[in-house]
Amino acid sequence: MDRIRLVGGHSLNGDITISGAKNAALPLMIASLLTDEPLVLHNVPRLADVKQLERILENHGVDIAVHGRRRGEAEGVGQRMTFHAADIVDTTAPYDLVSKMRASFWVIGPLLAREHKARVSLPGGCAIGTRPVDFFLYGLKQLGAEIDIEDGYVVATAPKGGLVGGLVQLPKVSVGATHTIMMAATLARGTTVIENAAMEPEIDNVAQCLNQMGAKIAGIGTRTLTIEGVEKLNGTTIEVIPDRIETGTFAMAAAMTGGDVLLRGARPDHLQAALDVLVEAGAAISTEEHGIRVKRNGNGLMPVDVEIDPFPGFPTDLQAQFMALMTRSNGTSHIRETIFENRFMHVAELARFGADIVVDGQMATVHGKSQLKGAQVMATDLRASVSLIIAGLAASGETIVNRIYHLDRGFERLEQKLQNCGAEIERLAG
C-alpha cells in the first residue's frame, strides 16, 4: 500500500491550480441518469471516487467517454467527460459498489424519477459518523415513493405513474438529501418545495445544470427550493466549479508553513468563512484576477475559536485541516464540530506529532505549540488524512503518512502540487 514521505520546515511559494470540486462532480455525474441525452462535464477531477462512481453508473447502463486535451488547454485542467444514459439497463446499485462511497447512494433519486423503481444498497464511505439516510427516504416518501428496507438494500417504487410533487421539510440541513430530492423532483408531476435545503455551492452547480437540462428550479442559493416537474430532461454541457475544500486545504498549508501561494481558479465567495478565520489566525489573503493569494511571514499564528456550520459557515470538511493549523498557534483555540458526531479521529494521529489536543464530546481544545516533530501516522478518513500532511509540512524531521488511499479519493496530484511550491514530499510505492 502506498505511503507519503515528507520532511517539514520548507515554506510554500508558487502557484497551485485548484481542481474541480469532487462534491460537485459526483452529483453532476449522477444527474446523467435523468436524461437519455448526453451530459458533458468539463473540469472533472481525476480522483478515486470519480472512478468508483464511473463503475456504478456503467452498471446502470451509462456510456462514459473521457476526451483528450484541446489545443491551447493548460496543463492540470480537469477531464472533459461525456455521460450518456440512453437506456437504464439495471436499477439495482449493488453493495460491492455502493459500500465504498456514500455519495453513490444518491443514484436512488434519478433512478426512481426516471424508471419509477430503484434497489440501492445502504451506503458506505468515511467512518466519520453514522450519517443515516433517513432524510433521503423521508423526502422521497413525500414525493409519493413507497420504500422498504430488505437485506441491507433500500427498495423504492413510485407507483401510479411516477413521483408526485410535495412539500419536503428537512429537519436538518443535509447536502446529500438536498441533491437527491432535488434531482428526483425534476421529473415528478407537479410542484415540489424543499424547505431547509442545503445552500452549498455544489448544490448551486447541480441546480444550474439541471435547469440547463430543462428543469424548473427556483430559489437557487437559498434555504427554499421550488421545483416544477417536467416530463423530460435534455442533455447539456457544464463546468464543474473549483473545489473549495482543496482551496481551503492549500490555504491552510500556506498559512502553516509561511510563504506566498497563488491558488489559481479559487472562488473566495465559496469559502469566505474559512478565509476570514485564516485572516484572524495571521494569514494575509487577497483576491486577484486569477484566484486567491495566501501569504504569511515569520510571525506566529494566533489562536481562533471556530464552530462548524453548514454553508455559508465554516465547513466540516476543513475542520481537521484547521485543527492541524491550530496546533502551531500561540495560545489555545476551540473547535466545535456540529455536523458529524465522530469527526475527531485525527486527534490521536496529530498527537503523534506532539500536538496537545483535548476532546470533550463535540468540542476540541487545542493548546498550540512552537514545534511539532515528524512521526509515523495513519490516515483515518479523507479530510483527516490531509490534516496529517499539513502537520508534517511544519514538523521537524521526517513524516510518513500511511493508508493514503483516502487522499486519492479527494485530492488530485497532491504531492505534485506541493512539490511545485517547494515542499519536500514524495509518494512511496508498496
Asked if residue 196 belongs to a known ligand binding site, the reply is: no
Cα 294 from Cα 255, distance rounded (Å)? 7
Asked if residue 175 belongs to a known ligand binding site, the reply is: yes
Angle at 268 between CA 266 and CA 272, to 5 degrees: 140
For the chain, the 3-state helix, strand and coil shares in percent, each to the nearest 5, are 35, 30, 40
Going by C-beta distance under 8 Å and a sequence separation of 6 or more, which residues neighbour residue 83? 29, 32, 38, 39, 40, 41, 57, 62, 63, 64
Q: Which residue has the cell 444550474?
A: 208
Evaluated on CA atoms 85, 220, 108, 215, the torsion sign reads negative
CA within 13 Å, CB half, 275? 21
SS3 sequence of 357-425: EEEECCEEEEECCCCCECCEEECCCHHHHHHHHHHHHHCECEEEEECCHHHHHHCCCHHHHHHCCCCEE
CB 155 within 8 A of CB 147: yes
**Would residue 209 show up in a list of annotated catalytic residues for this protein?**
no
Cα 304 from Cα 320, distance rounded (Å)? 14
Any idea what DSSP says for residue 294? E
Cα 407 from Cα 386, distance rounded (Å)? 7
Q: Which residue has the cell 506541493?
A: 418
Evaluated on CA atoms 399, 405, 410, 413, the torsion sign reads positive
Going by C-beta distance under 8 Å and a sequence separation of 6 or more, which residues neighbour residue 430? 1, 2
Cα 181 from Cα 172, distance rounded (Å)? 14
Any idea what DSSP says for residue 77? P
Q: Is 207 exposed, middle or buried (0-12, 13-18, 19+ CB in 10 A)?
A: buried
Asked if residue 16 belongs to a known ligand binding site, the reply is: no
Asked if residue 102 belongs to a known ligand binding site, the reply is: yes
Residue type, 20: G
Asked if residue 339 belongs to a known ligand binding site, the reply is: yes
Cell of 223: 434555504
Could you give the 3-state DSSP secondary structure of residue 45?
coil
Catalytic position from the list 12, 21, 50, 126: 126
Binding residues for UDP-N-acetyl-alpha-D-glucosamine: 102, 172-175, 317, 339
Active site members: 126
Binding residues for phosphoenolpyruvate: 22-23
Binding residues: 22-23, 102, 172-175, 317, 339
